[in-house]
Amino acid sequence: MKKLEMLYEGKAKKVFKTEDEKRYVIEYKDDATAFNGVKKGTIVGKGVINNKMSALLFKMLEEKGIPTHFVELLSNREMLVKDVQILPLEVIMRNVAAGSLAKRLGLEEGVVMKTPVLEFCYKNDDLGDPMINEYHIRAVELATDDQVEKVKEYAFKINEILIDFFKERDIKLIDFKLEFGLHDGEVVLADEISPDTCRFWDANTNKKLDKDRFRRDLGDVEEAYNEILGRLQ
């Protein structure tokens, strides 16, 4: 599939048109940001790792009944995806207290939640991606009630699948962010699943194996990303 002009460049990815108006190429970058773009840097090889890992997980989820935007892996940094109208929602699944949740609720990081917690944020950089609920979503028409119900159904199912998948590889799935969109009117999983969008801890040592190593200046960032991909392969 021939890559044509670039449509969009975000913090971590570029999106390109192709000859097929229903297909796009996503190219993953090594650029890293945190705290809504306040902290910036580079994680060498991140684009390759996130591309390969997302492709692997999208394929696995498709096999288990979760529709995604993924079509095929094109190169180390590029994948072919379906055209998707992204819903302006960030969907966060939390299994263990960490990051902003631990701060908001006054919980010690590492406390296992009694049940998974689903949170919505309004996907808007200018506003700092504020947390919202289903009443906000309905009131300002960010998505229909049916779309929200389907997103919730998929999010909890994805969480169950990924917890088991990573557990087999001695990795705790602490929390993660998902994005969904509409393809031919149907809700599908989009964006990526990677150490950029998930918190991963080693099951035995609780060593952080994700973007928190960049956020918190913990060092060994590239090594952590490579370790995650290595365990998956």
How far is Cα 14 from Cα 5, in angstroms, rounded to an integer? 10
- Evaluate whether 32 touches 43 at the Cβ level (below 8 Å): yes
Predicted pLDDT at 35: 80
Convert the pLDDT of each residue in 12-30 to its tens digit. Answer: 999 999 999 999 999 999 9
Predicted pLDDT at 38: 77
Q: What is the DSSP string of 79-90?
A: EEEE--EE-SEE
Predicted pLDDT at 39: 85
Type of residue found at 170:
D
Convert the pLDDT of each residue in 141-165 to its tens digit. Answer: 999 999 999 999 999 999 999 999 9
Predicted pLDDT at 34: 86
Predicted pLDDT at 233: 87
How far is Cα 20 from Cα 103, in angstroms, rounded to an integer? 46
Domains for the chain: give ranges and CATH numbers. Answer: 3-82 (3.30.200.20), 85-219 (3.30.470.20)
- Evaluate whether 17 touches 5 at the Cβ level (below 8 Å): yes
**How many Cβ atoms are within 10 Å of 133's Cβ, its own excluded?**
10
Predicted pLDDT at 1: 75
Which of 19-33, 34-48, 91-105, 207-221 is predicted with the least confidence, judged by mean pLDDT? 34-48
CA dist 9 to 13, 51, 131, Å?
Answer: 6, 16, 24
- Whether 134 shows a pLDDT value over 90: the answer reads yes
How far is Cα 80 from Cα 74, in angstroms, rounded to an integer? 6
- Whether 37 shows a pLDDT value over 80: the answer reads no
Convert the pLDDT of each residue in 154-202 to its tens digit. Answer: 999 999 999 999 999 999 999 999 999 999 999 999 999 999 999 999 9
More confident residue, 34 or 51: 51
- Whether 131 shows a pLDDT value over 90: the answer reads yes
